[in-house]
Structure 1
Amino acid sequence: MKLTMLGTGNALVTKCYNTCFVFSENNQYFLVDGGGGNTILQQLEKARINWMDIKDIFVTHKHIDHLLGVIWMIRMIAQYMNQGSYVGDARIYAHQELIETIEEIVKLVLNKKQAQMLHQRIHMISVEDGQTLSIIGHDVTFFDIHSTKDKQFGFSMQVNDQKITCCGDEPYNPKNQIYVENSVWLLHEAFCLYSQVDIFHPYEKHHSTVKDACQLAQSLNIQNLILYHTEDHNIENRQSLYIQEGQNYFQGNIWVPYDLDIIELKKINES
């Protein structure tokens, strides 16, 4: 299983793309969010992932830095379906409120012929808290992250004997301990360094710092922690600075990827 980080930044970044990523295995692809625009297509091209090979897309929540890239994906998929160039069907997973939002946006911004692909070959699949579905050959369990802003879902994926969990773009909620605890890989937001709280004010935005995410990972027996959805003011040194601060609070492996970085999702003791 590979994880390709198409984007790693928060909503206001300009030096990287908004957070979205792709899981891939055996020529199957699972896209999580789409960032804020059609740059999703450029990022996929740079990553050498053919967007037409992506059949499964999960949207965590309705914020524009996660949703609008998915609208572009739907537009491209629908257009090429109508041209006879897109093989097979596509599936969009989201909670029911977000499904309705996506459907409304599609009706407003795409032409009738493209919009008609919804529910014909682009299947809108509503997910519920605790529901498990098979995606790219693995069990994926979705969960409500209990957002303090807009309704948002994360998920936990079982890949062989390891658990890979994504908490969305807000801090972990203890109500989700069953999904997050003992994950071999945890994807968690880290808006900024704890030492820069007074500069970026993450708590006012309902986000975490590197310190917060690392303390959480340590308490939940996480082996590998991937930090994303960050600021980009010192992006050249972001990786080294975040790891340096995080190592004070977490004994596992800390990953601070840049856009287009690929992470091989293996256990720590695997070569």
Structure 2
Amino acid sequence: MGIELIMLGTGHAMVTKCYNTCFLLKKEDEYLMVDSGGGNGIMSQLEKLGVPYTDIHNLIVTHGHTDHILGAIWIIRKIAMMMTAKQYPGKFTIYCHDEVVKTIQTFCELLFPKKFLKFIGDGIYIQEVTDGEQLDIMGIKTEFFDIQSTKKKQFGFKFTFDDGKTLACLGDEPYNEANKQYIQNCDWMLSEAYCLYADREKFKPYKKHHSTALDAGKCAEKLNIKNLLLYHTEDTNLENRKKLYTDEAKSVFSGNVFVPYDLEKIRIK
């Protein structure tokens, strides 16, 4: 059974030449969405891919920053509208920590008419997850962990597939040693790389609690990762980003490096 990762967006919060970082995990004909970008551009990305909302029944929101959470409001609105018209079969579940639960509920209460609000808790479920909690999502063992952010509470997660292969998502901040048990020896590690190390003085990633492609490569090598995927980058040189970021990470990492463009598809297993 194949698993495919589809990047909906690959940029950081303030990019204008690509979409904010979020992605789909495709298993057979069903999709799990992870984060949603900063607005209704998420609908455009799904339209470009030809992904029907009726095939998306699960969404993980890692944290409450604008570039990760606001697109979820549009997804909820769209699905509620489809439920009103009896065009969406089954349920839609959002997995997130307590602070994000409160934020999403507040947005919905402030912005949605009653005809859409009635589906929150009755067809559309906002499910709180806790640090260390394990769930089965779409037939995939999913473990959530607090990344110990000093900015805003954020959860990462680890997928374990039916063949034992693993994928760890660090969210949009650098690896924290507290989460070693979830990350070490994974087949895939998804990591932010705000910029190149060579450009650190220009973009100042460390002041923003981010890292560089070189830092991510060093981390992946230390943790014995097989495949490193870099995203959440600046967008000033998209044409050459793939080569430049790959080369920098590969200079210190012996595994495979992927630096995808928006809408790019990558076979995970």
| TM-score, length of structure 1 as denominator length | 0.97
Deviations 1:146-167 (Å, cap 9, x if unpaired)? 1110000010000121110100
Residue by residue over 1:97-149, the C-alpha shift from the partner in whole angstroms, topping out at 9 and shown as x without a partner, is 11011000100011111112111110111000111111111100011011110
2:208 counterpart residue number: 205
Question: Unpaired segments of 5 or more residues in structure 1?
Answer: 267-271
Query: 1:201 & 1:51 partners in 2: Cα distance?
Result: 38
Residue 47 of structure 1: how far off its partner (Å): 1.5
Question: Which of 64, 77, 80 is the equivalent residue of 1:78?
Answer: 80
> Matches of 1:52 and 1:8 in 2, distance apart?
24
Give secondary structure in 1 for the equivalent of 2:83.
helix
C-alpha contact 2:169 2:191 (8 A) present in aligned 1? yes
2:191 is the alignment partner of 1:188: yes
Partner in structure 1 of residue 122 of structure 2: 120
SS of match in other structure, 1:169: coil
Shift of residue 29, structure 1, vs aligned partner: 0.9
SS of the residue 2:8 aligns to: strand
| Matching residue within 233, 236, 242 for 1:239 | 242
Residues of 2 paired with 1:53 and 1:210: CA distance? 34
Residues 9 and 23, structure 2, Cα contact 8 Å, conserved in 1 = yes
* Matched residue type, 1:176: N
Aligned length: 266
- Deviation string for 1:172-218 (max 9, x for gaps)? 10000000001101000000000000000000100010011000000
Q: Which residue of 1 aligns with 2:166?
A: 163
Secondary structure at 1:188's aligned position in 2? strand
Deviation of residue 26 (structure 1)?
1.5
Q: Which residue of 2 aligns with 1:265?
A: 268
1:36 corresponds to: 38
CA–CA distance in 1 between the matches of 2:228 and 2:104? 31
Contact 2:6 2:265 in 1 (8 A): yes
Residue equivalent to 1:26: 28
CA distance in 2 between partners of 1:186 and 1:231 (Å): 20
Secondary structure of the residue that 1:57 maps to in structure 2? strand
Report the counterpart of residue 96 of structure 1 in structure 2: 98
What is the Cα deviation at residue 52 of structure 1?
A: 2.3
TM-score (norm 2): 0.98
Q: Is 1:163–1:183's contact at 8 Å kept on the other side of the alignment?
A: yes
- Distance, in Å, in 1 between the alignment partners of 2:99 and 2:38 is 19
Instruction: Confirm or deny: 8 A CA contact 2:186 2:225 kept in the other structure.
Output: yes
User: 2 CA distance for matches of 1:118 and 1:49?
Assistant: 23
* Counterpart in the other structure of 1:178: 181
Please list every run of 5 or more consecutive structure 2 residues that lacks an aligned counterpart in the other structure: none
Distance 1:146 1:116 in 2: 35
Q: Distance in 2 between matches of 1:139 and 1:252?
A: 24
Q: 2:173 aligns to what SS in structure 1?
A: coil
Q: Specify the SS of the correspondent of 2:71.
A: helix
* Partner Cα separation in structure 1 for residue 12 and residue 53 of structure 2: 23
Residues 64 and 99 of structure 2 are in contact (CA less than 8 Å); yes or no, is this contact kept in structure 1?
no
Moved segments of 4+, more than 6 Å: none
